[in-house]
Structure 1
């Protein structure tokens, strides 16, 4: 069986100007990064504002398992299938982070014959967006420490600086560090730490900003920390939002690439869904909606994380809400949620599928509650038996839930034919009537409780003493009216990664809130979710190499 990277490397790429032409774009509308990558210019993006909006299809999934679900692969395959059937479709995806690429999860360019290309570039340095975000983040950190060194006119309390440095790699040794050691000329000694780049507020800001003016305004609203009177200090107080925006001006432009089938794809922005809002950039999604009849986008991890944040945080920043939601599932993952060990997933197990179906059922119920039609995409694996496939179809039929067998990994556009037809039929039969889960005027605690009870199925929300005190402070500064971004394990509806399936009667504990006032939301940290992951015992990097002629090996 061919690997993802071998399939990608065997594909003859079209010049990116040919892909752009499918969208009515000319070479003058692009900023070329070689033959096969380009950014779309701000002038062209602004000129599209009067174009009609196409349909928006959101792809999400059940809670991920080590068995794999293939959400990005299905996203790509669905758009390919729509184009194959004569419709004009475009993809809006996030950029991969080098952390999981070099770690255990791998890249985020799809798989098999449903990939965005050039796969190696997208999974590695791409057009430099991640590096620009890292640089802007760390430039701000350096400017903060320089301000302390040069007299600290703002009266920043070094013990209450919340801005961290970032690195786009998994490096547990940098989670907590001490800086400024070595005498008076080397900076004020204080405790600091690193997050992974995709957890940076600057990443979230880039993904929610509508243009450069909005980007600069959001950067100015970032909270650096607190002064000696425990009042917040903002980037605008430091007067460096212009410098940060300058570092990000090119990174804000969406990246245009192609699929194996030749479908245009805007791959832009990459916040993690378990510690940030997990969605492709607003500017890329809006641009896609103006360029094509159908935009297929995805939200990170399961629907309890990425899709909830897409619908409650991102949609208010978009010109429209989704017309349909696709929930991706695999029989292998359902068996794991039904209690089967990973080593036994290839064996037929109908009771486990029936038990694990509770996870899929809850995700579907949650998405329907937003007022949006739902289709289930069953991403087929070789080990799936006819009896297992028939059982899932029966379970979905009992809920009057459309389900489509999807084989895009193996067959590309042809393998998404049934799914594309089902999604089109569902949108024709049912209209979307989007309803947000909570309102801005709800308190942060009320917003979190609605997510825990309505989305996760939990019985209650608990707050640590620190979190309770923070709520009082946040309300004082008006931050309690912001949306809430739950940082939670992706593996479970609960904050316990070992609690699979569709658990009930559990509590979710918020240990700390983090204001992301520039992005426009407040992060709630639950469980043991880390904003700087570590590498596994055998990281994917051990299998990577490059040949003498520069060809990448070992990426997936």
Structure 2
């Protein structure tokens, strides 16, 4: 008996794929040669100032998901496969995705460029450094930190209170040892001693500003509005007060150009910016999305984690700032995820358990309700795994039909675009129908009212509790007139609540806000909940332990 061949890994599939020269991909997307700045043979930056003027506004399809689990749902894979399927059906489609952060790549995730035969390429380079954008953001962030400490050292003309500096240094790696540090030690020549800390780069306000700016001019203005701390008189100090917004914008000007790559099937993709969704707003850059809307008839994009995090922020923050609305929303789920929400351990997911799927389906139902609360009808992408049984799959499809929700079984990991044809047809059908999209709240509402709206309508919670620290933060925000900004909730991705262990659809819970941080450059208020960290730590067995490189420079173990 011959031994059954093991399926190829994502890296093997990506390595064996034949890529088209990036100039051919640009031509397919309608990008003139003079706007293409190649970074090797298969990547390029796009100079948007050299694109032809277009009044086209392609339709936006947002891909979100049910609450993520360690089993993995394949949201990026479905995003890529859906765009490929739309291309197969003759639609001019384009993808807009976030850039992977090295923290998750080396930590628990392993990679973020899709999977199987629904990947963006070159997968290895996209996951590792990718044109240096995140490094540029790291440099700009830390240049600001250097300017702040130099200002203190040179006499502190702005009267900055070193105890009230809120700006942190960043590193694009999960490194818990850097969460709290002391700088300036070693005597007067080494600066002013003070407490400091590191966030991960993708949680930096520079990253959020980068992704929400519409032009270099807008980028510089937003950077100038960033609050870095407070004076001894408790007055806010901004980057404009330091006079370094021009220098920071200069550091970012090349990174600000969107990156063009391709899928395995040759669909053009813009990958640009990468804020976390459980800490920041979780969407690729607005400039990449708008560029794709100019070039394509249908733009397939995604927002991080489930609809309670990335999708909510996409609609309440990004779409509001960008002046557009999602025309359709895809919710990705899997039998494996629903089983985990139904109480099954990760080690037992391969065994058929229809009852667990029934128990976990409440999580999907809440995400459907959340999307509909925005006035948009979802399509369910049931991402198929080889361990799924017929009865398990049929239960979910029948359940969706009873709920009046379009649903499609997808296998883009194994079949590429062909495995997403049914999903693509549902999406096209939905795009023909008008929707009544609207953000959930008005920015003029009181801050606590806006937070409560998210907790009740998106999470299904009963209310909000503010700690004493959060109440003090809110008073300061209101006194400074910053209370008319949207809300960016920093919350665990695993649960609708602020307790990551409460899976499924928890009820009768409250959300505790421990701190409210004004991000004036980004244009939102970050509300920290639970024990969410702005600098994650590595797991016990990081993905990096499986990574290597051979003698010819080929990557090993990059998933």
Structure 2 counterpart of 1:475 = 478
Structure 2 counterpart of 1:555 = 558
1:223 equivalent to 2:227? Answer yes
Q: Which deviations, in whole Å up to 9, do the C-alpha atoms of 1:498-527 show, x marking residues without a partner?
A: 000011101110000111100000100000
- The Cα shift of 1:107 comes to 1.4
Unmatched segments (≥5 aa) in structure 1? none
Tell me if structure 1 keeps the 8 A contact 2:373–2:457: no
1:78 equivalent to 2:72? Answer no
In the TM superposition, 1:140-155 aligns within 5 A as: 140-155=144-159
Moved more, 221-230 or 435-444: 435-444
Partner SS for 2:434:
coil
Tell me, in whole angstroms, the C-alpha distance in 2 between the residues paired with 1:463 and 1:317. 27
- The Cα shift of 1:343 comes to 1.1
Instruction: Please point out which of 265, 269, 281 is paired with 1:261.
Output: 265
Structure 1 counterpart of 2:48 = 42
Partner SS for 2:256:
coil
Partner SS for 2:229:
strand
Tell me if structure 1 keeps the 8 A contact 2:48–2:291: no
Tell me, in whole angstroms, the C-alpha distance in 2 between the residues paired with 1:317 and 1:258. 28
Instruction: Please point out which of 454, 459, 462 is paired with 1:459.
Output: 462
1:433 equivalent to 2:432? Answer no
Structure 2 counterpart of 1:91 = 95
Tell me, in whole angstroms, the C-alpha distance in 1 between the residues paired with 2:63 and 2:31. 26
Moved more, 294-303 or 22-31: 22-31
Instruction: Please point out which of 25, 42, 45 is paired with 2:31.
Output: 25
Partner SS for 1:480:
coil
Moved more, 347-356 or 90-99: 347-356
Structure 2 counterpart of 1:126 = 130
Instruction: Please point out which of 47, 59, 70 is paired with 2:63.
Output: 59
Tell me, in whole angstroms, the C-alpha distance in 1 between the residues paired with 2:327 and 2:319. 12
Tell me if structure 1 keeps the 8 A contact 2:220–2:245: yes
Partner SS for 1:499:
coil
Instruction: Please point out which of 6, 10, 29 is paired with 1:4.
Output: 10
Tell me, in whole angstroms, the C-alpha distance in 1 between the residues paired with 2:329 and 2:19. 30
Tell me if structure 1 keeps the 8 A contact 2:83–2:300: yes
Normalised TM-score (structure 1): 0.99
Q: Which deviations, in whole Å up to 9, do the C-alpha atoms of 1:325-344 show, x marking residues without a partner?
A: 00000011001001111111
Tell me if structure 2 keeps the 8 A contact 1:322–1:432: no
1:248 equivalent to 2:252? Answer yes
Instruction: Please point out which of 500, 505, 527 is paired with 2:503.
Output: 500
- The Cα shift of 1:25 comes to 1.4
Partner SS for 1:22:
helix
How many pairs were matched up? 553
Tell me, in whole angstroms, the C-alpha distance in 2 between the residues paired with 1:313 and 1:219. 18
- The Cα shift of 1:319 comes to 3.8
CA RMSD across the alignment: 0.8
Tell me if structure 2 keeps the 8 A contact 1:286–1:319: no
1:281 equivalent to 2:285? Answer yes
- The Cα shift of 1:27 comes to 2.1
Normalised TM-score (structure 2): 0.98
Q: Which deviations, in whole Å up to 9, do the C-alpha atoms of 1:208-267 show, x marking residues without a partner?
A: 000000000000000010001001000000000000000000111100000000000000
Tell me, in whole angstroms, the C-alpha distance in 2 between the residues paired with 1:90 and 1:44. 19
Tell me, in whole angstroms, the C-alpha distance in 2 between the residues paired with 1:42 and 1:94. 18
In the TM superposition, 1:93-492 aligns within 5 A as: 93-428=97-432, 430-492=433-495
Tell me, in whole angstroms, the C-alpha distance in 1 between the residues paired with 2:94 and 2:370. 26
Tell me, in whole angstroms, the C-alpha distance in 1 between the residues paired with 2:354 and 2:50. 53
Q: Which deviations, in whole Å up to 9, do the C-alpha atoms of 1:328-376 show, x marking residues without a partner?
A: 0001100100111111111111111111110001001110111112100
Partner SS for 1:52:
coil
- The Cα shift of 1:42 comes to 3.1
- The Cα shift of 1:390 comes to 1.0
- The Cα shift of 1:132 comes to 0.2
Partner SS for 2:413:
helix
Q: Which deviations, in whole Å up to 9, do the C-alpha atoms of 1:369-424 show, x marking residues without a partner?
A: 11112100000000111111111111111111110001000000100111001111
Partner SS for 1:195:
strand
Tell me if structure 1 keeps the 8 A contact 2:81–2:416: yes
Tell me, in whole angstroms, the C-alpha distance in 1 between the residues paired with 2:50 and 2:526. 34
- The Cα shift of 1:51 comes to 2.5
Structure 2 counterpart of 1:538 = 541
Partner SS for 1:549:
coil
Tell me, in whole angstroms, the C-alpha distance in 2 between the residues paired with 1:524 and 1:17. 43
- The Cα shift of 1:443 comes to 1.5
Unmatched segments (≥5 aa) in structure 2? 1-6
- The Cα shift of 1:29 comes to 1.0
Partner SS for 1:297:
strand
Instruction: Please point out which of 505, 515, 531 is paired with 1:528.
Output: 531
